[in-house]
Chains A and B, each alone.
Chain A
Amino acid sequence: MLRIENLRKTFSGNERERITAVSDVSFKVEAGQLFTLLGPSGCGKTTTLRCIAGLEHPDSGKITIDGADVFDDTTGVLVPAYRRAIGMVFQSYAIWPHMTVRENVEFPLTVVARRHRLAAKGRTRLVNEALELMGMGAYAQRPSTALSGGQQQRLALARAIVGKPKLLLLDEPLSNLDAKLRERMRFEIKRLQTELGVTAIYVTHDQGEALALSDEIAIMRDGVIVQQGNPNDIYNQPGSDFVADFIGSANLVFGTCQVAGRVGELIEVELEGGVRASGSATCDLAEGDPVVLVVRPESVKTTPLAEGERAPEGQLIGTVRARIFLGESVDLLVETLGRELRIRVPADSAPYRPNSSVALDISSRRGLVLRDDRTLSLSNKVEDELGLATA
């Protein structure tokens, strides 16, 4: 349905140098899928989306929508945005303030090429359909300036789908909503997309949104895609510490590989504090390689320790720094090895008081072992972005 090959887009910066927003991006989206571009802010997601929409003129590469080339630098093809027949929801919603709700939704139908244009009656039917689908039927005659944030969002969606586009582009559509509404709209968007069977490209920096909605996720960083896969793979098989860090609130613990092993094998690791643990390797590793053990919050076994009590052999000792009640479970921030780990325990487990000591068993074999190819600055950056180290 959509195919992007070696897309590159640079902007002229302030001085002589150019900013590379998208350096080399390729991906393919099957019809009917919801494909998500996920990554930290500034990684080039919006720019990629705008290139697809035709709002940016890429430097090089090729974009094919539904079998037709819309951009190809080798042949010079560049189809303008208004001929690409796509629907788009903007981050700012871009509701036209001088039109009513109905006029906003009807606009795309009134500006298509004359030979495709419907008569007034057909337009009204489509507009009503789109408004009903978004639960906005009652607001049709309102001035579009008299809408709440959530209603504006629905209006923007109705406008994007009214022309029955084959491709729907959404740029952080939920980022301007409050938390509760965001949760609800997430499901509405998914429902809408499956009901219409439209192919959608969804841009977000929120991993929760991406995991909940997507058929396929591409994780971007500094203008390139670092990993692509379905949500399950991305969550369970992160290919790098960056992805592991970004995708879940995983803990990263550094250490060295004890015995060489191949992809998928269980590998023993000695961690910074001398404690041993094991996990499955995500790549071939040799003895002595620096590695990162990815430990999920829910796979650490915790036992409270009495004052002055020592941790059992092979376990870490830590101090509870904070306790976050989440309803069914409780997250503990535990300081150990000079960093903080996030650990999830059932809400009905023993009370962990702040500043009490706990023993941590991270040898559960459910962790992942990645090669530690970080540069220092990089890992700091990842941690800063996620607020893990200092949370």
Chain B
Amino acid sequence: MTITMARRRSLLVNALKANGFALVLLLLIAVLVIPPVVILIISSFASGRTLQEGHATWENFRGILTDKYTYLSLKDTAIFAVGSSAVAVLLATTLAWLVERTNTPGRKAVYGLLIVSFAVPTFIQGMGWLMFLGPGSGLLNTMWHGVFGGDSEFPIYTMGSMVFIQAMTLLPVMFLLIAPAMRAADPGLEEAAAMSGASLAKTIFKVTLPLIRPALLAALFLSFIISAESFEVPALVGSPAHISVLSTEIYSRINSGFTDYGSASAFSIMMMIFTVLGLINYQRATARSQRYGTIRGKAYRPTRLDLGNWRFPAAVFAVAVPVLVVVPLAMIAWASLLKAYQVPSLDGFKHITTSTYSAVLHDPNVTDGLWHSMVLAVGSAVCVMLITVIAAWLLVRRRSGLTRAVDFLVTLPLVIPAIVLGLAVLRTYLTVNVGIYGTQYIVLLALVVHYLPYGMRYGQAGVVALHPELEEAAQVAGASQSTVLRRILMPLMWPTVLAGGAFVFLATIRQLSLVVFLSGPGYQVATPVMFNRWQYGSICEAGAFAVIIVAMACAALAIFSKLTSGLAIGNPNAQEMAIGK
């Protein structure tokens, strides 16, 4: 009798010891992730400006579902997402094929240019494109007028250019996703087809493309999700053109004279449905591409297709596309060196000055914003990796119902578009007053929640790569759990933590849509400040600001890739996740 009591108690103590840590972690993550989701759903069914005074209603959904503009923006979201992902994947595939499978010259340049553009926030790329193509003062239009006269203009504020600009911002990520698959596909199969008399076109369409189909599908769905959620290009190009997509619809319902949380929340729910659909398909496609992945890995000598005289046009194309990706950067650098914007010209060089930089750097809004962005980037990288490395270890080493719940909660934010999460977090801490509204902590919280799933992918890959016997050997040698953690796990996991942290750091610096609602007079963040400058027409200041941010991002990228010997940028996960978010 006493024995069974003692036994029961000790079993309980052991169970608590084993699971207590997982329980604490589960609670922490639940507190971070669940309230915004719940409040968002409640908000979509609540009337009134605050949740306290509102009551349950279908009005929000009824309102947006009976509004014909809703269907227009749904349709535009679909066109925008489908169009830009199709163009991006088409260009990326062509480029990857030329670079990886043919003897087109200039391959190194392509990689170099694309990796540079990788460090540039999407919003800045969009600004550059507008300067390049924009009406009146755009470089292209000016050149057109200069050569041909007249006043016909390149129509920049249209769905077509929105799709094009978005596709150009997607191109680097998609290229880096498709190129490895292109490289790995066995050229023997292509040669076999060519031997049997198939023409080049036939070989490409009947052999090469089917071989990399899973990778193409994955790239397609991923760019679809990114575009459907994206805010930057729709806000820059779509808004002046009066084309609204779901993200800008949500933005304008919050940032207009009359803040309507109810209908913005209802829109958010619709947007999440888009994301979930895309994600399901994406996961199917990647599962399939991993299955294909096990077939290759056979050693072979890569042979390249000889394009003959077509080599030179191919080279022009291969280098022109990535150069186009970098063009906007040049435009921004130009603008940043002027006091008042003018189209690049020889005459313009006379007006070059650094006074915009000094003006910008003396503006407390800008310097605060930059400083805060740095602090937030470090903070979110540290918090995310701390939580996810522990969660990943528990999930891999101590699989149980509890750790699976942790996994679910950590992955949940993946289905919440950044702008929706920003809104949900804002609404949550307006309603539940814990004193973080309007401070840096609310921004940090949103960033941590948003990047949890990405950190988790790094963490899991890191733990899986460690043989469990490395830890067990230390235990048997006499090391307690905390000593194993300190002396064995942390040193061995460090490269993973660094790579994951670098990713979160860079992504935070680029982030706009997530923080656009959360940054404000109380706590300024760099990208929204820049966005405001642009919106109010201070193009040169916005440009100088953008150059500083890009320089910071590039410096960070260089430092991290030095520290991790290229892990941060060499990691395909990182590439596919970098995603202009």
User: Footprint of B on A, CB under 8 Å?
Assistant: 53-55, 57, 73-78, 80-88, 90-92, 94, 96-98, 107-108, 111-113, 159, 163, 169
Contact = CB atoms under 8 A, between A and B. Distances in A.
Interface string B463-500: 00001011011111111100100011001100000000
Given A90-B473, A92-B467, A82 B478 contact: yes
Given A91-B469, A92-B469, A94-B472, A76 B10 contact: yes
B539 to A, nearest CB: 51
A53 B382 CA distance: 36
A112 B491 CA distance: 20
**Most chain B CB neighbours (cut-off 10 Å) among A53, A57, A81:** A81
Contact of A96 (B11, B470, B478, B480): B470
A303 B10 CA distance: 69
A113 B479 CA distance: 9
Contacts of A113: 478
A82 B10 contact: no
B478 A53 contact: no
A67 B571 CA distance: 53
A47 to B, nearest CB: 13
B473 A111 contact: no
**Most chain A CB neighbours (cut-off 10 Å) among B3, B14, B470:** B470
B7 interface: yes
B10 A94 contact: no
A107 B474 contact: yes
Given A76-B7, A82-B477, 15 more contacts: A53-B476, A55-B476, A76-B11, A78-B10, A81-B472, A82-B480, A88-B476, A94-B473, A96-B470, A98-B491, A108-B477, A111-B483, A113-B478, A159-B477, A163-B478
B299 interface: no
Given A55-B472, A55-B475, A81-B475, A97 B9 contact: no
A110 to B, nearest CB: 8
B6 interface: yes
B472 A111 contact: no
A75 B3 contact: yes
A152 B479 CA distance: 21
Contacts of B479: 82, 107, 111
10 contacts: A73-B7, A78-B10, A78-B14, A83-B478, A87-B476, A90-B472, A92-B469, A94-B470, A108-B478, A111-B480
Interface string B325-361: 0000000000000000000000000000000000000
Contacts of A77: 10
Given A73-B7, A76-B10, A82-B479, A111 B487 contact: yes
Contacts, number: 80
Contacts of A82: 475-480, 483
A335 B10 CA distance: 61
B243 to A, nearest CB: 51
Contacts of B473: 88, 90, 94, 96, 159
B476 to A, nearest CB: 4
**Most chain B CB neighbours (cut-off 10 Å) among A76, A90, A97:** A76
A182 to B, nearest CB: 20
B478 A112 contact: yes
A90 to B, nearest CB: 4
A308 B6 CA distance: 79
Contacts of A112: 478
Contacts of B478: 82-83, 85, 108, 111-113, 163
Nearest to B476: A88
Contacts of A80: 475, 480
Given A74-B3, A90-B469, A98-B492, A107 B477 contact: yes
B179 to A, nearest CB: 31
A92 B475 CA distance: 15
Contacts of A163: 477-478
A305 to B, nearest CB: 51
Interface in B1-23: 3, 6-7, 9-11, 14
Contacts of B470: 94, 96
Contacts of B14: 57, 78
Contact of A94 (B3, B7, B11, B467): B467
A108 B475 CA distance: 9
A113 to B, nearest CB: 8
Contacts of B3: 74-75
A53 B11 CA distance: 19
A60 to B, nearest CB: 10
A212 to B, nearest CB: 26
**3 pairs of A and B residues whose beta carbons are closest in the complex:** A76-B10, A94-B473, A108-B477
Contacts of A96: 470, 473-474, 488, 492
A263 B260 CA distance: 94
Contacts of B477: 82, 107-108, 111, 159, 163
Contacts of B487: 107, 111
Contacts of A74: 3, 7
Nearest to B480: A82
A160 B528 CA distance: 58
A22 B6 CA distance: 25
Nearest to B7: A76
A75 B475 contact: no
Contact of A97 (B469, B483, B492): B492
Nearest to B483: A111
**Most chain A CB neighbours (cut-off 10 Å) among B467, B473, B487, B491:** B473
A98 B490 CA distance: 11
Contacts of A108: 477-478
Contacts of B7: 73-76
B476 A76 contact: no
B2 to A, nearest CB: 10
**Most chain A CB neighbours (cut-off 10 Å) among B473, B477, B480:** B477
B469 A111 contact: no
A372 B477 CA distance: 47
A84 B477 CA distance: 9
Contacts of A159: 473, 477
A255 B492 CA distance: 60
Contacts of A85: 478
